[in-house]
Amino acid sequence: MTAEDTRAELRKQIFEALYEVAGSLLESQDIGPDTEFPETGMSSIEFLAFIEKIETKLDVFIDLEENQDLTTVNKFCDLLLEEAQAV
């Protein structure tokens, strides 16, 4: 699997997690990998549920204290790929 394939697969899983907690957001607007979550009207509780879904799905812990700029799908991809490489 190439690096680009890995990123694409990860992005797909993150979108799935997003759909599970905030499906109505995805249905009502065009959210891309670089769309800023605050601009979509995502609530803080939906954001927390979204992170928790990613953690459960991928068996990781995302430290929000260390990573306060996780505002797009691509930023989540970058962080998770970076952490996977570190491991």
Task: Using the minimum distance from each CB to another protein, give the nearer residue, 30 or 59.
Answer: 59
Contact between 61 and another protein by CB under 8 A: the answer reads: yes
Alpha-carbon dihedral 38, 41, 47, 49, rounded to 10 degrees: -170
Max Cα distance, the chain (Å): 38
- State the residue for tokens 């799905």: 57
| Shortest distance, position 52 Cβ to another protein, whole Å | 4
Task: Using the minimum distance from each CB to another protein, give the nearer residue, 5 or 65.
Answer: 65
Site for another protein, rule CB under 8 A: 45, 48-49, 51-53, 55-56, 59-65
